Structure 1
Amino acid sequence: MKDETSHPGRITEIRDQVRDPERVSLFIDGEFRIGLPRIAVAERNLRIGQILTEEDLAELESVDEASRAINQTLRLLGYRPRSSSEISSRLRRNGFSEPAIQSAIERMVEYGYVDDQDFARFWVENRQQHRPRGRRMLESELRQRGVSPDLIDQAIDEADIDEYGAARELAIKQMDRYRGLEPDVWRRRMAGFLQRRGYGWNVVRQVLDELERNDDDG
């Protein structure tokens, strides 16, 4: 920061914020002007009596926005891992500028908190453990979250998903719901159920054929 004889204002107070001890309020000529991370004040050696230009204040506003974007990103990641595209979209909806969004993403990638490859692996593994899905559905879900096709393929291939086994287990759990229906109606509804969960027709057909054989044997 530079001292200027022509200036918009002088720092008259740097006050700790009550709600967030990591932030301070900067007062210019006796009036509140901007909130800042405490570390930004230290890094820029801001002090009472210092004169700031409009360019200085604009820079500080950018620093503050980037800091708030980072904090919001950390809160989002506290709920579950997210792709870089998900984070960008959420920050954009919340009114952050593109430079602030880019700064937040770069910092999170640098710290290892955001990694689209790790996110894709997490998503596939989590789905298979709690809400099994076929390959097509997994691909669709990850595309919607902005993951690149290469990373999607890699995550699904690494998971080595047993689509037939997973589809069969889902179908067995669904059997009671369709019990008593005419065979063609049962087959159509079960096929739709499995296909909506991302299983291809070849897998669905094999599962239906096996269940029908078992039912006939029983």
Structure 2
Amino acid sequence: MATNNNRLTSNRAIHPGEILREELKERGIKQKDFAKAIGWQATHLNEFIKGKRNLNEDLAMRLESQLGIPFKTWMSLHSGYIYECKALEKNADYKMISNKLEPSKPVHPGEVLREELENRGISQKKFSEQIGIPYKNLNDILNCRKPITENTALLLEAALGIPAHILIGLQTDYNMQVIKQDPSFLERLANIRKMAAML
């Protein structure tokens, strides 16, 4: 399966269709021929590749059968895409500060994770048992009282298919935003910059 390091640092959600387009291009397969091979309408495949149609389990199975890329991989890519869309949507409220865009309100990854569990109809208690962490710890994360650690991010990735690096990235962004809203710390930074300018 084709990989691209730029995907890891993209500031937008990557639809699985984009990855399929790269895969077909790399293998020299025309979209029309591929649509016929998987028993799909060419127009529907084109919509999927352009990100206008979402992945479903039926298509994921067809892609696995034809390309050898596991069903679970496609579903994980889809979950990651949906999650990134929600995260970007939550961070869409921006204001201009010193020619840099900063979210007006820090968004804890627990908020997005809580919505994900609700959308999937998974109870917090059942999920905490599934991933093997105390219910209170999970509840604290979902209610923005505790950060998502690297270990927890990997557990969440295994259970939900949401890439761990996305969760850690959201947590880091949240931490940075909180720090930048602390007046005393901002004053400290300003003083350091003044002293640095005099050196």
Q: Same fold (TM over 0.5)?
A: no
Q: TM-score, normalised by structure 1?
A: 0.22
Taking structure 2 as the reference length, the TM-score comes to 0.23
- Determine which structure has greater relative contact order: mean sequence separation of CA pairs < 8 Å that are 6+ residues apart, divided by chain length: 2
